[in-house]
Every structure is written in structure tokens, then in C-alpha cells.
């Protein structure tokens, strides 16, 4: 099969011919139709310090996908050949306290597809049946391929009750934009999203026209709050940018007793004025991945009942054009980028 592989410990990925993976008794073999390029894949392409210390070489990368089951292991009873599916990219164990109590996404032994386990940038992927998420017929492959990042957005946005609340989102990348759509769907009163890149702010206007986008280099957030009739601060902040200034902005803009869901990861060590956190009685929740599998159930239900995030997809390319896809991703001017393996 053709596969996109980290073949060498340096910048780039390489299209190779690789054996079709063999499956175990509890696995399924999936023919991959569409994959999405993720920020993690970009880190692996760039071969930064995190990637060099985490990813073994060679490694078939990629973990956002939609496809069709073509083979099932002998112990698999609830899935069948021909079934369309996506899949959870975190492969977990069953021995930890977290897993045994049903909190699979917190298993400390988690391995990542396309990071520690051979991934989805290929014509076929072997996946534990436990990780397979069947796709309803009314969810096309293009959306199935971005359920993983949508799951990040849903997990973050639904960390706190949003009904009637005012929500500030920092970072208008694809996940931040999808989080804005989820927040509106979940009943937030005002949703404001900030960024410094005009292309991303234009994209949020296309995907979520009823969300107030703010160019942080040109507009004062306090002026925006007055403009939309807010008399106090925001109730909930969703930090999606990994930027220290953005986190500081959320802390400054929250009401007393406000809440922050933190998905973005600032590089290195970031200074925190903990007195501001304590004296404003702020709650901070770190968000990792998706809740297995509650997040998947919720986002599929929302997609089937009116949530529309399809506009976040800006590029659809053949798999052989992967270099163009990564160039667009690294430019910072794209939304979600899909590679077609059919």
C-alpha cells in the first residue's frame, strides 16, 4: 500500500510503499478514504524537539481519518465488513485505575496513532475494534475525517455549562472555530473569539457568522464587550491558541468565579500570576483529547441535529499532493486540510 511515513529523523515526510498491516483477533482493518492534517502532524513534519523525543522512526503518521472496514478479527462481534467508520486516535490499556473506572482518555499508558502506533496516512490502517467509531450514513467522509479535532473542540467547549453564558475563545484555528460553533449550538449568549491573523478571522465569519470575531492587534476587548452589551466579564474562557498573552487576556476578562478550559499549550515554561487566579476564584481545567466515548456520542448527535462545521474545511487534495497540504498548513492561512486516499 502507499503510505506517508516519517522515514528519516529530519524535516519532511515521505510517500513509501509499505505492507498492508496485519490485524490481531481484536482488531479491524480499515481502508482509508480521507485523512485530515493535524497540528501534531506538522510537528512531526518539522521534526521539532517534541517529535524527535517522542516519535520512533520509521513511523506512518496521521490520526484523523474516515474509511471502511474490510476485515475483522475473529473476536470482533459488533462490527462488520463494509461498515463506514472513523476512530479514536488514542490507544489505551485496561490496567490503570483511570481505565478501570471508565476514564479511558486519562489512561497514563495511552499511545497515539501516527505517533507511537502506525497511523492513518495510508491506504489501510489496523485499529483495535474498541477504538472504532461507526459513521452514520448522514455524516460524509469529509466530516468523519475531522471528528478527531471536532472532538477536541467539543470536549473543551462542553467542559462547563454554557447555556446563557458569555464565552471568550482565544485562538481562531480550526479547533477554536469549531469550539465557537459548538458554544453557540450549546446555548451560549455571547461568543467572542480572538486572533491576530486576518485569514483565520475571515474563516470564523464564514463558519460562524453569529460569533463576534476580534482582531487582537486592532481592537480592544473591553470595547467589544461594551458593544455587545456585556456589563461584567466573560463567564467561560476557552484557550485554544497556546499563547501566553491570550491566557492572560482570558484571566483579565473573566468574571469573579469564572472558568477556563485550557486546550492550547504554550511553548516552554510560562509565567503565571497565581494571585489573579486565586483572588478571582477562577477554575482551570486542562483538556486532553476526547472523553472516550462520550465526546464522540455528543458530537455525532450534534452533527445530526444541525451543527454545521463543514465550512472549516478549506483544502481537499489527493494524497499525492501532501506537500501542498503541509505547505498550506504551515502557512497559518488554512482551515482543515483533507487528503483523499481513494
43 annotated active-site? yes
Residue-level length of the chain: 342
Q: Kindly state the cell numbers that stand for 187.
A: 446555548
Q: How far apart are CA 44 and CA 46, in angstroms?
A: 5
Q: Kindly state the cell numbers that stand for 26.
A: 481484536
**DSSP letter assigned to residue 9:** S
Considering 35, 40, 156, 295, which one is annotated as catalytic?
A: 40
**CA dist 66 → 28, 135, 208, 230, 295 (Å):** 14, 8, 25, 41, 17
Q: How far apart are CA 316 and CA 325, in angstroms?
A: 9
Q: How far apart are CA 226 and CA 94, in angstroms?
A: 51
**Pairing, β 2-6 against β 59-60:** antiparallel
Q: How far apart are CA 268 and CA 160, in angstroms?
A: 27
**Helix boundaries (H) for the chain:** 39-46, 49-54, 97-100, 141-144, 147-157, 174-185, 198-207, 221-227, 244-253, 274-279, 294-304, 322-331
Considering 43, 54, 283, 314, which one is annotated as catalytic?
A: 43
Select from 179, 329, 325 the least CA-distant residue to 339.
325
Q: Kindly state the cell numbers that stand for 191.
A: 461568543
Q: How far apart are CA 197 and CA 176, in angstroms?
A: 13
**Pairing, β 64-72 against β 90-91:** unpaired
Active-site residue set:
40, 43
Amino acid at each position: 500500500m502507499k503510505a506517508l511515513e516519517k522515514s528519516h529523523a529530519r524535516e519532511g515526510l515521505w510517500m513509501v510503499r509499505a505492507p498492508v498491516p496485519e490485524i490481531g483477533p481484536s482488531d479491524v482493518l480499515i481502508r482509508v478514504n480521507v485523512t485530515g492534517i493535524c497540528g501534531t502532524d506538522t510537528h512531526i513534519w518539522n521534526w521539532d524537539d517534541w517529535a524527535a523525543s517522542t516519535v520512533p522512526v520509521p513511523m506512518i503518521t496521521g490520526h484523523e481519518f474516515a474509511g471502511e472496514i474490510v476485515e475483522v478479527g475473529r473476536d470482533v462481534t459488533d462490527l462488520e465488513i463494509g461498515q463506514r467508520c472513523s476512530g479514536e486516535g488514542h490507544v489505551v490499556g485496561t490496567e490503570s485505575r483511570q481505565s478501570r473506572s471508565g476514564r479511558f482518555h486519562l489512561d497514563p499508558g495511552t499511545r497515539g496513532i501516527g505517533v507511537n502506533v502506525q497511523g492513518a496516512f495510508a491506504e489501510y490502517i489496523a485499529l483495535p475494534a474498541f477504538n472504532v467509531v461507526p459513521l452514520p450514513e448522514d455524516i460524509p467522509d469529509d466530516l468523519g475525517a475531522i471528528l478527531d479535532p471536532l472532538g477536541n473542540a467539543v470536549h473543551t467547549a462542553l467542559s462547563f455549562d454554557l447555556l446563557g453564558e458569555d464565552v471568550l475563545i482565544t485562538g481562531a484555528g480550526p479547533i477554536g472555530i469549531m469550539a465557537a460553533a459548538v458554544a453557540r449550538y450549546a446555548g451560549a449568549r455571547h461568543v467572542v473569539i480572538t486572533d491576530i491573523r486576518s485569514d483565520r478571522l475571515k474563516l470564523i465569519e464564514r463558519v460562524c457568522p453569529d460569533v463576534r470575531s476580534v482582531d487582537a492587534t486592532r481592537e480592544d476587548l473591553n470595547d467589544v464587550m461594551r458593544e455587545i452589551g456585556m456589563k461584567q466579564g466573560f463567564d467561560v474562557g476557552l484557550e485554544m491558541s497556546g499563547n501566553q498573552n491570550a491566557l492572560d487576556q482570558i484571566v483579565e476578562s473573566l468574571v469573579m468565579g469564572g472558568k477556563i478550559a485550557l486546550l492550547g499549550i504554550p511553548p516552554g515554561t510560562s509565567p503565571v500570576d497565581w494571585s489573579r487566579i486565586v483572588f478571582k476564584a477562577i477554575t482551570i481545567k486542562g483538556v486532553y483529547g476526547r472523553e472516550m466515548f462520550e465526546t464522540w456520542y455528543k458530537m455525532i448527535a450534534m452533527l445530526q441535529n444541525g451543527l454545521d462545521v463543514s465550512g472549516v474545511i478549506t483544502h481537499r487534495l489527493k494524497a499525492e499532493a501532501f506537500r501542498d497540504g503541509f505547505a498550506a498548513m504551515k502557512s497559518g492561512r488554512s482551515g482543515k486540510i483533507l487528503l483523499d486516499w481513494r
